[in-house]
A and B are shown apart, each in its own frame.
Chain A
């Protein structure tokens, strides 16, 4: 900090920053506020900062915890929605991709960084070239592939294209493994550790930071994913939150969307990432320094 004290310029700068944060946070507040408002009140009680008659009914009905009649009475269209299930599906989808992809990419990153075998650099080069192919390009044929395998509306089909690898994660983890001092491995070699054991017992335990970083990034992206799960996991059994929200929106009557229900559903997509931010905020924010600027 070069200047201290309260010059008018500094006060103005702080004011701008506070406005930016407020503009970031306020729509989320409004989302929760709407979710806590009875559907009947959104015409009459539309502008107050707090709902006049706060209620949890919207959450209960989108979570499928009320009967159809109760849900319809509370402003729903009567269509069956079960966000509890979609929430669980999202966790499964996200969890499978994050855990398995991180593990597989770590293994490959290690092989590319530390093992010696013919063709290593060529294979790695081809892999990195894939970063240039836009996702929509592989999306169409992958959809046909998954469809022909009979994997539509199964978790297997939904996670298939990304669960084993993504070029960026291999690249990122390889860079980290390259930075581990050789001496560590040499010392372990003297202790009789080699190959397979070196990776599991020496390298992985040293790499928790970068593994969590890349895992978090993967988790966030798969949590946000929409188009692929929309195409491959439309059914109730595999429908994730984002897809469920899209379908829920289309089910609501044409005259006026079921805003209170939609906002309750939307809140459910925000809560888990908010929890992530609370518990792993520092790591998440700092991971941008790694992954963003490469």
Chain B
């Protein structure tokens, strides 16, 4: 079932180059086909959407980053002025730092937990019901997740503090404490995305041939040994992909912060997405916000290149 689909997946990447070549040769009518009429008809909606809402805005975004633009008057070209200001902008560097802190916390906790969860499922149960339940937090809007945990963690009435008090521990205003706010937000999103990540890793584990575990077991290997010697090495390509995809995803944290930031200490939770939002729509500095967006795009571009590298380097593992 699911496993066979996954097995087919890595091969797909090559199709782009092989299939058109097969067209020119093999089982096609001898005359040269040209479907350009009907093809452009099929493509029309997508190409319109792409040109108007992807290509044009991308160019426009770069242009805005070189202007002073308050949305009320026309953009005024200022060259690299925005970027020069960015270098000296403490809030920008702080936002990068806060985001980096969040990304590290979130990725580490999420990956470790998801790996543990996926392994437990893989070695114990195929239960679809369990998998479905683990997926629920991912299906729910981040706004809901943020509010739900604000309530769970409320300093006076929240369930978590009730529980802490019940076992004799002091209460904490998790989201209002400068030290705890960002780790708490990282924890909330770990809760929201671990199940999803675990299911991705689980799908990867299903690709590992079962007989490897059986023969290892016959040789007297314990579960930990099987995990470190079979699961982890063979999962590496999938793990690398999932890791970098969630890495890039967590750089773009916004919703959870936007909901919980109201009572959070100033600056401590101002992540890069929020800073862009604030500059554009609170301070009406569209040009400056665009410059930050350009920097973020470049940063994510670098991460994507690293991702490609990782994937190619790990391909040989897929025996």
B-binding residues in A (CB < 8 A) = 1-3, 9-10, 13-14, 16-17, 20-21, 23-25, 27-28, 30-31, 34, 42-43, 46-47, 104-105, 107-108, 110-111, 113, 115-118, 120-121, 123-124, 126-127, 130, 132-138, 140-145, 147, 160-165, 167, 170, 175, 178-179, 182-183, 186, 195-196, 199, 220, 223-227, 231, 241-242, 245-246, 249-250, 257, 259, 262-263, 266, 269-270, 273-274, 276-277, 281-282, 284-286, 288-290, 292-294
Contacts and interface: CB of A to CB of B under 8 A. Distances in A.
Interface of B: 1-2, 5-6, 8-9, 12, 15-16, 19-20, 23, 27, 33-36, 38-43, 45-50, 52-58, 60-61, 64, 71, 116-117, 120-121, 123-125, 128, 130-137, 139-144, 147-152, 154, 157, 159, 162, 166, 191, 195-196, 199-200, 203-204, 213-214, 217, 223, 238, 241-242, 252, 254-255, 258-259, 262, 273, 276-277, 280-281, 286, 289-290, 293-294, 296-297, 300-301, 304
9 contacts: A20-B134, A24-B137, A107-B43, A116-B39, A136-B293, A137-B297, A141-B60, A224-B141, A292-B199
Given A118-B34, A140-B289, 18 more contacts: A16-B120, A17-B121, A24-B133, A107-B43, A113-B19, A116-B39, A117-B34, A137-B57, A138-B61, A140-B57, A144-B71, A144-B286, A225-B141, A227-B277, A242-B255, A249-B147, A285-B132, A293-B200
Contacts of B53: 138, 142, 145, 160-162, 164
Dominant SS among interface residues on chain A: helix
B217 A269 contact: no
A289 B2 contact: yes
A220 B139 CA distance: 6
A138 B137 CA distance: 28
B141 A277 contact: no
A164 B48 contact: yes
A2 B12 CA distance: 32
Contacts, number: 299
Contacts of B141: 223-226, 241-242, 245, 269
